[in-house]
């Protein structure tokens, strides 16, 4: 499981919204919030807007750009959730790489 999939799974557990719904087109507020947490978490890890758009099956990066550009697009609470999930996933990736005898640079943090 790559880091993006791991983050999606953890967001799904935390919010109670299935990964399929998070990646879907629903405009219900709770689903949009989960999707924004996902975008914010991936961006925190340095993934490009195009990579995030591809994960969400968007045609291009502009929707991701719009969500990330808005100052109020993600609430303080959702920002904290995203940060916590990123930290947990990074710790898991480091442990897995240590178990396999690889450095994070060798694995490139699961980026495509």
Q: How much is the pLDDT for 103?
A: 56
What pTM did the predictor assign? 0.75
Domain holding 101, by residue range, is 3-110
- 67 within 8 A of 73, measured Cβ to Cβ: yes
Domain count, the chain: 1
Alpha helices in the chain (DSSP H): 3-15, 19-22, 29-44, 49-55, 62-69, 76-100, 104-107
Averaged pLDDT score across all residues of the chain: 81
| Between 3 and 110, the higher pLDDT residue | 3
User: Residue 109 pLDDT > 80, yes or no?
Assistant: no
CATH of the domain at 44: 1.10.1750.10
Q: How much is the pLDDT for 65?
A: 87
- 89 within 8 A of 76, measured Cβ to Cβ: no
11 class by beta-carbon count within 10 Å (0-12 exposed, 13-18 middle, 19+ buried): buried
| Between 53 and 92, the higher pLDDT residue | 53
């Amino acid at each position: 499981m790559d880091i993006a999939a791991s983050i999606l799974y953890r967001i799904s557990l935390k919010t109670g919204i299935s990964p399929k719904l998070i990646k879907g087109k629903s405009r219900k507020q709770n689903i949009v919030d989960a999707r924004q947490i996902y975008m914010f978490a991936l961006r925190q890890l340095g993934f490009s807007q195009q990579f995030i758009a591809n994960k969400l099956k968007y045609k291009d990066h502009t929707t991701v750009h719009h969500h990330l550009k808005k100052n109020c697009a993600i609430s303080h609470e959702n920002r904290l959730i995203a940060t916590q999930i990123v930290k947990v996933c990074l710790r898991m990736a480091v442990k897995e790489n240590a178990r396999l005898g690889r450095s994070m640079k060798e694995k490139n943090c699961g980026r495509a």
